[in-house]
């Protein structure tokens, strides 16, 4: 398994909204990620910090494949209301009690 890791930070007070939006992501977005080469995507949250672990051979290629696709554009617009932005991975603070917010694999198994 090759994995890419991303770190993003939520807008203060939007934590529960983010969790709710990730109970199930749209089917067209899930299909897009799968067709772009993502085997699994898991998001862990500790407070406002999000740790994304993406199981794929080439994250840059995935990003290029999904960029501009209507499903991703809609999702990014929704997430822009909740996410302050992405940070460098080396800026991830020590996580005290991260919990799984969403996993592609878990959603597909439901």
Is residue 59, in this structure, part of any structural domain at all?
yes
Is residue 8, in this structure, part of any structural domain at all?
yes
Domain around 70:
3-105
| 103-109 contacts, C-beta under 8 A, 24 or more apart | 103/40, 103/41, 103/42, 103/43, 104/30, 104/33, 104/34, 104/38, 104/40, 104/41, 104/42, 105/40, 105/42, 107/24, 107/25, 107/30, 108/30
Structural domains counted in the chain:
1
What are 72's two structure tokens?
Answer: 């991703």
Q: Is the pLDDT of residue 1 over 70?
A: no
CATH number of the domain residue 17 falls in: 3.30.70.100
Is residue 110, in this structure, part of any structural domain at all?
no
Q: Is the pLDDT of residue 90 over 70?
A: yes
pLDDT at 92: 79
The pTM assigned to this predicted structure is 0.93
Q: Is the pLDDT of residue 42 over 90?
A: yes
């Amino acid at each position: 398994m090759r994995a890419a890791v991303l770190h993003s930070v939520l807008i203060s007070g939007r934590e529960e909204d983010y969790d709710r939006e990730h109970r199930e992501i749209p089917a067209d977005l899930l299909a897009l990620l799968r067709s772009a080469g993502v085997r699994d995507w898991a998001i862990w949250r500790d407070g406002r910090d999000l740790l994304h672990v993406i199981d794929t051979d080439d994250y840059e290629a995935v990003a290029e494949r999904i960029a501009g696709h209507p499903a991703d554009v809609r999702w990014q617009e929704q997430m822009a209301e909740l996410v302050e932005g992405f940070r460098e991975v080396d800026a991830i603070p020590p996580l005290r009690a991260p919990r799984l917010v969403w996993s592609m694999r878990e959603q597909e198994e439901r």
